[in-house]
């Protein structure tokens, strides 16, 4: 059976909902968070540039409408003032509003996060509040925008740049030195970034004719396993069997069929493996679930 | 309806395992929740019927209880995984941010903001002391050695406002600038700039509060230095008027931003019964409410500095506006004690 990669395994956490239900969740990987950030920065830059171009276009059109041609000193024109103010406000809105507005939406994620299947959630399992989203994004300013802005304005300055790069590095390293991969903003907000799970509802296992009657629909052979024959396996093996049946790969089923037959001392035939496994699965699960209802569980064959 | 029910009954009867029958009986609810979640996650809340939205919390609890039962009775790993996913997705939405911005604003102005400000009063006091100290240090340093003036006051103020400038020159910087162009641009620029300082003040708080202390002092020493300069020509009150018209709001906002930063820093350094992370989170959420307000105050200060200071050209009127607004802030923060209904924050 394929265990999840070690990286994925130590990203698993259990979260308790306010109703007291323990839910397994998976933290977003640092890679996907970095990727999401890059996508968002690109979207922001494009959006901001587009709006600025639009403002510039409006300004140019107004100039032409004036009939005076492009003026050299538009300083006192109230319309230009207005456009200038709009540009400043736009800068502010993009810098502080972009993440805020998207993360406050029902999806809890910016376009970048959505594309990579991750979202923001409250660390304590409670409500993700407006305050949390505010806090985590106010911190983003000193983690990211402030040093980048300083870097741009200092372009080429020696020691200043080194200090700023160190600054950026410190914040970038923070997710690597705490267990839950929190960046400074998550730390102060009480939030974290998790994967958005996807899982389809699979078919019911025991409603097929074969499983229900214990009789193969292809060969007509009837299978009935004794208690001793079912007692050798536990829940772990049942899950493996379930996966083999759901994946429905012929070679895998032949191998598992042979393994079970060897174990219970049957003579493995050929041609009816799926029916055999379906019946064995159903009866094994029935046995284990009956045990569960009585408060007895068997985790694996080693118990 | 009866056709569906009939088919369902047949399916339930056909399933050999009790846990599978349990699943088939409840599957319709699960699918219904999944459908609502799919549509909400695609961002089509407006296209959802009200009944769907109302049903979401009910279905969430139904499916959550299905999960609890299934964990005790079923060994169908795929179904359990599906239920866990479904409950988690629903949990995100049921316990997601309140989507109505208007509702949040109403609560914010209707008590949440002033309550958060009152909650960090010890830090506000400390920040106030630091700012007064910073101003005093600026003054005293310049009084001891005028050379300090050049290193304390930022370049943009170092035009004619230098030690040794005549009274007339200094007066000229305070009055008669009504025809300065681009007032609105100035206001917007100032807002952007000051909001940046405030956010930095707040955000650096998580380094155990040391950076906000430095920032508070650093931002007020130039003030002390300039007060010293104008005092030398007997223009103290006029300078105070020139600064106060917007400064009462702006400096108050910086004070609150610094106090928010200190609040986070203090909570991390002295978390009390909580873990450091929990203490930081709790303080961060409270402080972020204050910060949302600080940004609003900065916008107001930008407007006052960009427009009102140029348009109101005499000291008494400037003082009246500045301290009138200050009185408003103090009353609003400390005397307006309404507790907002259905508060989200702690």
Angle between helix A235-247 and helix A273-293 axes, rounded to 10 deg: 140
- Quickly state the pLDDT bin for A72 (edges 50, 70, 90): very low
What pLDDT is attached to residue A6?
61
Q: Which of A129, A190, A211 sits opposite B16 (nearest CB)?
A: A211
pLDDT, tens only, B198-228: 888 888 877 777 888 888 888 888 888 888 8
The arithmetic mean of pLDDT across residues A13-31, rounded, is 89
Residues of A in contact with B344 (CB under 8 A): 127, 129-131
Asked if A189 has any chain B CB less than 8 Å from its own CB, the reply is: yes
Contact B285 A104 (CB under 8 A): no
Query: Does the pLDDT value for residue A272 go beyond 50?
Result: yes
Residues of B in contact with A104 (CB under 8 A): 97, 99, 101
Here the tokens at position A15 are 């979260």
**Mean of per-residue pLDDT scores for chain A:** 83
Residues of A in contact with B188 (CB under 8 A): 84-85, 88-89
Name the nearest CA neighbour of A17 among B87, B219, B297: B87
What pLDDT is attached to residue B2?
43
DSSP chain A: --PPPHHHHTTEEEEE-TTS-EEEEEBPPHHHHHHHHHHHHHHHHHHHHHHHHHHHHHHHHHHHHHTS-S-S-GGG-HHHHHHHHHHHHHHHIIIIIHHHHHHHSTT-S-HHHHHTTEEEEETTSS---HHHHHHHHHHHIIIIIHHHHHHHHHTT-HHHHHHHHHHHHHHHHGGGSSTT---HHHHHHTEEEEEPP--PPPPPSS-SHHHHHSB-TTT--B----HHHHTT--HHHHHHHHHHHHHT-HHHHHHHHHHHHHHHT----SS-HHHHHHHHHHHHHHHHHHHHHTT----STT-
Query: Does the pLDDT value for residue A78 go beyond 70?
Result: no
**Which region among A105-114, A127-136, A215-224, B127-136 has the lowest average model confidence (pLDDT)?**
A215-224
Name the nearest CA neighbour of B292 among A28, A104, A242: A104
The arithmetic mean of pLDDT across residues B108-125, rounded, is 91
**Which region among A116-120, B53-57, B61-65, B208-212 has the lowest average model confidence (pLDDT)?**
B208-212
**Which region among A289-298, B1-10, B235-244 has the lowest average model confidence (pLDDT)?**
B1-10
Percent of chain A with pLDDT over 70: 90
Secondary structure class of B51 (helix, strand, coil): helix
Query: Does the pLDDT value for residue A144 go beyond 80?
Result: yes
What pLDDT is attached to residue B59?
93
Shortest Cα–Cα distance, A47 to chain B (Å): 19
Name the nearest CA neighbour of A278 among A249, A253, A297: A253
- Looking at per-residue pLDDT, the higher value among A268 and B296 belongs to B296
What pLDDT is attached to residue B173?
78
Put simply, the chain A residues between 225 and 254 with a CB less than 8 A from any chain B CB are: 235, 238-239, 242-243, 246
**Which region among A33-42, A54-63, A206-215, B102-111 has the lowest average model confidence (pLDDT)?**
A206-215
What pLDDT is attached to residue A154?
66
Q: Which of B104, B264, B281 sits opposite A123 (nearest CB)?
A: B281
Q: Which of B84, B196, B288 sits opposite A135 (nearest CB)?
A: B288
- Looking at per-residue pLDDT, the higher value among A176 and B101 belongs to A176
Q: Which residues contact A23 (CB under 8 A, 6 or more apart)?
A: A14, A15, A16, A17, A125, B84, B87, B88, B91
pLDDT, tens only, A226-240: 888 888 888 888 888
Asked if A118 has any chain B CB less than 8 Å from its own CB, the reply is: no
Here the tokens at position B132 are 């007064």
- Quickly state the pLDDT bin for B178 (edges 50, 70, 90): low
Shortest Cα–Cα distance, B221 to chain A (Å): 23
ipTM: 0.81
Query: Does the pLDDT value for residue B345 go beyond 50?
Result: no
Cα B124–Cα A170–Cα A13 angle in degrees, nearest 5? 90
Continuous segment of H or E residues that includes residue B211: helix B210-231
Query: DSSP letter at B178?
Result: T
Query: Does the pLDDT value for residue A17 go beyond 80?
Result: yes
- Quickly state the pLDDT bin for B46 (edges 50, 70, 90): low
The arithmetic mean of pLDDT across residues A4-32, rounded, is 84
Question: B235 with B174: CB under 8 angstroms?
Answer: yes
Query: Which pTM does this prediction carry?
Result: 0.80
Shortest Cα–Cα distance, A18 to chain B (Å): 9
- Quickly state the pLDDT bin for B183 (edges 50, 70, 90): low
Query: Does the pLDDT value for residue B97 go beyond 70?
Result: yes
Quickly count: other Cβ atoms within 10 Å of residue B9's Cβ: 12
- Looking at per-residue pLDDT, the higher value among A162 and A120 belongs to A120
* Beta bridge mates, A122: A191
**What CA–CA distances, in Å, run from B152 to B134, B160, B222?**
11, 15, 5
Q: Which of B73, B181, B291 sits opposite A134 (nearest CB)?
A: B291
What pLDDT is attached to residue B111?
85
| B14 → chain A, closest CA residue | A207
What pLDDT is attached to residue A118?
93
What pLDDT is attached to residue B151?
82
Chain A to chain B Cβ contacts (< 8 Å): 227
- Quickly state the pLDDT bin for A93 (edges 50, 70, 90): confident
Quickly count: other Cβ atoms within 10 Å of residue A77's Cβ: 18
């Amino acid at each position: 059976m394929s265990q999840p990669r070690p990286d994925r395994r130590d990203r698993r956490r259990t979260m308790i909902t306010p109703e007291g239900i323990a839910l397994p969740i998976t933290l977003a990987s640092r890679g996907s968070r970095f990727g999401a950030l890059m996508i968002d920065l690109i979207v922001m830059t494009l959006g901001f540039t587009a709006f600025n171009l639009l403002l510039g276009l409006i300004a140019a059109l107004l100039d032409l409408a004036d009939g005076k041609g492009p003026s050299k000193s538009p300083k006192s024109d109230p319309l230009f003032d207005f456009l200038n103010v709009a540009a400043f406000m736009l800068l502010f809105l993009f810098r502080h509003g972009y993440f805020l507005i998207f993360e406050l939406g029902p999806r809890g994620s910016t376009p970048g996060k959505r594309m990579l299947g991750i979202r923001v959630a409250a660390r304590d399992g409670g409500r993700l509040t407006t305050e949390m989203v505010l806090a985590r994004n106010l911190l983003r300013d000193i983690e990211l925008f402030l040093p980048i802005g300083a870097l741009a304005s200092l372009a080429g300055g020696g020691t200043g740049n080194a200090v700023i790069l160190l600054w950026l590095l410190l914040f970038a390293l923070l997710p690597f030195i705490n267990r839950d991969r929190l960046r400074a903003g998550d730390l102060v907000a009480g939030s974290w970034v998790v994967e958005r799970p996807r899982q389809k509802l699979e078919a019911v296992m025991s409603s097929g004719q074969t499983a229900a009657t214990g009789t193969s629909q292809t060969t007509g052979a009837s299978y009935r396993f004794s208690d001793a024959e079912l007692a050798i396996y536990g829940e772990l093996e049942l899950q493996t069997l379930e996966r083999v049946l759901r994946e429905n790969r012929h070679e895998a089923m032949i191998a598992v069929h042979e393994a079970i037959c060897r174990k219970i001392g049957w003579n493995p035939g050929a041609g009816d493996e799926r029916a055999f496994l379906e019946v064995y699965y159903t009866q094994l699960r029935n046995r284990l679930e009956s045990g569960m209802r009585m408060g007895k569980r068997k985790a694996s064959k080693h118990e | 309806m009866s056709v569906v029910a009939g088919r369902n009954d047949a399916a339930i009867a056909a399933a050999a395992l009790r846990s599978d029958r349990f699943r088939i009986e409840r599957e319709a609810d699960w699918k219904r929740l999944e459908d609502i979640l799919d549509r909400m996650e695609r961002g089509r809340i407006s296209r959802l019927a009200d009944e769907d939205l109302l049903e979401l919390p009910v279905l969430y609890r139904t499916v959550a209880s299905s999960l609890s039962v299934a964990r005790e009775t079923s060994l169908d790993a795929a179904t359990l995984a599906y239920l866990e996913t479904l409950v988690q997705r629903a949990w995100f939405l049921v316990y997601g941010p309140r989507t109505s911005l208007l509702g949040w604003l109403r609560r914010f102005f209707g008590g949440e903001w002033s309550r958060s400000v009152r909650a960090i009063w010890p830090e506000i006091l400390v920040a106030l002391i630091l700012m007064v100290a910073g101003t005093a240090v600026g003054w005293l340093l310049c009084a001891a050695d005028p050379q300090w003036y050049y290193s304390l006051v930022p370049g943009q103020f170092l035009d004619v406002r230098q030690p040794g400038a005549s009274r007339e020159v200094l007066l000229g910087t305070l009055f008669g600038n009504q025809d300065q162009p681009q007032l609105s641009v100035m206001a917007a620029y100032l807002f952007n700039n000051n909001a940046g300082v405030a956010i930095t003040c707040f955000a650096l708080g998580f380094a155990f509060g040391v950076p906000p202390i430095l920032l508070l002092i650093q931002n007020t020493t130039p003030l002390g230095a300039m007060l010293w300069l104008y005092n030398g020509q007997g223009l103290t009150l006029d300078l105070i008027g020139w600064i106060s018209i917007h400064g009462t709001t702006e400096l108050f906002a910086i004070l609150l931003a610094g106090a928010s930063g200190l609040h986070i820093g203090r909570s991390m350094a002295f978390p009390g019964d909580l873990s450091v992370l929990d203490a930081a989170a709790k303080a961060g959420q409270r402080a972020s409410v204050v910060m949302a307000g600080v940004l609003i105050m900065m916008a107001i200060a930008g407007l006052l500095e960009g427009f009102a200071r140029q348009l109101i050209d005499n000291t008494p009127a400037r003082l009246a506006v500045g301290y009138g607004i200050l009185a408003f802030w103090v009353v609003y923060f400390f005397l307006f004690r309404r507790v907002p209904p259905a508060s989200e924050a702690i």
